[in-house]
Amino acid sequence: MGRKPTKLKIIPLGGLNEIGKNMTAIEYKDEIVVIDSGLSFPEDEMLGIDIVIPDISYLIKNKEKIKGFVITHGHEDHIGALPYVLKKINVPVYGTRLTLGLVELKLKEHKIANVHLQRVNHGESIKLGIFSIEFIRSCHSIPDACAIAIHTPMGIVFHTGDFKIDYTPIDDQFIDLHKIAELGQKGVLVMLADSTNAERRGSTMSEKNVGATFENIFRNTDKRIIVATFSSNVHRVQQIMEAAQKYNRKVVVSGRSMVNVVGVAVDLGILTIPDNLIIDIDEMDQYNDGQIVIITTGSQGEPMAALSRMASSDHKKLEIRQGDLVVFSSSPIPGNEKGISRVINQLFEKGADVIYESLAEVHVSGHACQEELKLMHRLVKPKFFIPVHGEYRHLRKHANLAEDLGMNREDIFIVNNGTIVEFTKDNAKVGGTVPAGRVLVDGLGVGDVGNIVLRDRKHLAEDGLMVVVVTISKETGKIAAGPDIISRGFVYVRESEVLMVEAKEVVKNALLICESQNAREWSTLKSSIRDGLKDFLYEKTKRRPMILPVIMEV
């Protein structure tokens, strides 16, 4: 019997069939490196949940093998789970300048110290165990983004990270297509590539276009201008500041994360702010409206963000005024449409004018469209391909695109989180699964809210609750006190007094029947109460509140 040859394993732990919580493990023998460690935001049905992180039980089980986390860029869906993950697995984190700047900010917020963060420059390689890992300059809607090439005994694993191809980047640092071409020429075993925009034809526009739009807007108004954008889009912020400078406006930076990220970006030399451009919020009244630009968070209509608070007169120092010009320099993340719309309506009601993506080129995507994806595929020429970062539809479209470029269908792996894809130098196949999925974070609880709790929350949310309390005498088996009925989220109690009185009778009858049948098991009493009330309430209201019978004995 020959020993099985060791295989290279690629195990996506997040980011497949979803947007968010990107995380991929690369394993060879007893060594693992992990690319990215992101969070995602809760779906509508995850009631009360704050954030969602990947299930890392596989990593915890194989803790000893993990050499480190390699981070492609500093967005939440790539770094947001780090505070939770590092509490369980304290290994070094590798990334470029801004990426680590943002990780540091995050760890500080979570009061986590003693993590080894190691900065790597674009173009440099690090050695983690048997893996040699190259950080390749890429381009995305945040500075310092990387693609990652991992040199393994089986060949090169190339992960694009999130990317677009911007021929005129703001920082003049073009995506390192030469290096990527060189890797392609050398031979890439497998490529994992961003599928977010795989449904979109053509190419994503350059970030520079947005700058031109800003200049147009700034040139043609003497109103106060308020621009909402993602704080992490430092190049966007840079362009807004440059337009402000050009048209003699001072800049106010608003919103906690905007202030934080601008601070980090300036410290790191990524954002260059002309002297005397920024003013404090309290200095605004020394200027005319035409001399002011406010850069703010809240472009997704988040209720607690600065712009939303300005729009709802809930901000301590800023209020939207008649004549303000508000620019949403962003596009809605699916699910946020209604929240954004609410803020836009409030802004119009306060007399502001509002510009958003469908009206002007005030935003461009950070992800490659089909023509850019094709260039990437042509340059990298991988033997195998795993589309990542996307819902199933995106992965499927990306796979179709690769096929159209000539790849064989069987060399493309549309897989799930937790699927192990095994590689030798010439072959690839699916080789089982590891636990994967979502861990819900609610307050301090990580993973203590699961399907049962969510199901109960949904039930309570839709139809409310009725608590029935009755005290029964140990001696006689008869009611000693109660039944009392309390409802919440069901009906106005005041307007439903009759209903409540009748409900009590239903409970009493149910208990009498039990008594006459000599049924004294609490579980029997409870289910009699529950069943009787359920039918009664459904008939009367066509609703099914959660019914909680409580029996006490004295």
Annotated catalytic sites, by residue?
194, 367
Judged by beta carbon, residue 197 or residue 232, the one nearer its own copies is 197
Please, what is the minimum distance in Å from the beta carbon of residue 94 to its own copies? 31
Please, what is the minimum distance in Å from the beta carbon of residue 144 to its own copies? 31
Binding-site member from 130, 277, 278, 467 for its own copies (CB under 8 A): 467
Give the distance, in angstroms, between the CA of residue 382 and the centroid of all CA atoms in the same chain. Answer: 29
In eight-state DSSP terms, residue 491 is S
Give the distance, in angstroms, between the CA of residue 420 and the centroid of all CA atoms in the same chain. Answer: 24
Q: Would you count residue 484 as binding its own copies (CB under 8 A)?
A: yes
| Region class of 518: left (phi > 0), else alpha (psi between -120 and 50), else beta | left
Six-digit token pair at 157?
């694993």
Residue 233 marked ligand-binding: yes
Interacting stretch for its own copies, rule CB under 8 A, among 106-114, 235-243, 248-256, 460-468?
Answer: 460-468
CA distances from 309 to 50, 78, 292, 391, 505 (A): 20, 28, 19, 32, 49
Binding-site member from 345, 427, 517, 524 for its own copies (CB under 8 A): 345
Query: CA–CA separation, 29 vs 9, rounded Å?
Result: 9
Q: Angle at Cα 283 formed by Cα 278 and Cα 286, nearest 5°?
A: 110
What is the per-residue binding string for its own copies in 381-420, x denoting contact by CB under 8 A?
A: ----------xxx--x------------------------
Binding-site member from 469, 508, 527, 534 for its own copies (CB under 8 A): 469
Please, what is the minimum distance in Å from the beta carbon of residue 300 to its own copies? 14
Region 351-370 residues binding its own copies, contact defined as CB under 8 A:
354, 358-359
Please, what is the minimum distance in Å from the beta carbon of residue 322 to its own copies? 12
Residues in the chain: 554
Region 5-34 residues binding its own copies, contact defined as CB under 8 A:
17
Query: CA–CA separation, 121 vs 137, rounded Å?
Result: 9
> Rounded to the nearest 5°, which phi and psi values hold at 374?
-60, -40
> Rounded to the nearest 5°, which phi and psi values hold at 528?
-65, -45
Query: CA–CA separation, 183 vs 146, rounded Å?
Result: 15
Residue 262 marked ligand-binding: no
Please, what is the minimum distance in Å from the beta carbon of residue 20 to its own copies? 13
Q: Would you count residue 430 as binding its own copies (CB under 8 A)?
A: no
Query: CA–CA separation, 417 vs 407, rounded Å?
Result: 23
Binding-site member from 155, 442, 507, 529 for its own copies (CB under 8 A): 442
Indicate the burial class of 465 (C-beta count within 10 angstroms; 0-12, 13-18, 19 or more): middle
Judged by beta carbon, residue 20 or residue 95, the one nearer its own copies is 20
Q: Would you count residue 552 as binding its own copies (CB under 8 A)?
A: yes
Residue 140 marked ligand-binding: yes
Residue 442 marked ligand-binding: yes
How is 411-440 classified by DSSP, letter by letter? GB----TTEEEEE-SS-EEEEEE----EEE
Q: Would you count residue 112 as binding its own copies (CB under 8 A)?
A: no
Please, what is the minimum distance in Å from the beta carbon of residue 215 to its own copies? 22
Percentages helix, strand, coil for the chain (3-state, rounded to 5) are 35, 25, 40
Query: CA–CA separation, 440 vs 438, rounded Å?
Result: 6
As annotated, the binding site for Ca(2+) includes: 48, 50, 442
As annotated, the binding site for substrate includes: 231-233, 363-367
Which positions touch its own copies (CB under 8 A)?
A: 17, 43-44, 47-48, 199, 334-335, 337-338, 341, 344-346, 348-349, 354, 358-359, 391-393, 396, 442-445, 448-450, 452-454, 456-465, 467, 469, 471, 480-482, 484, 486, 488-492, 495-496, 540-543, 546, 548, 550, 552-554
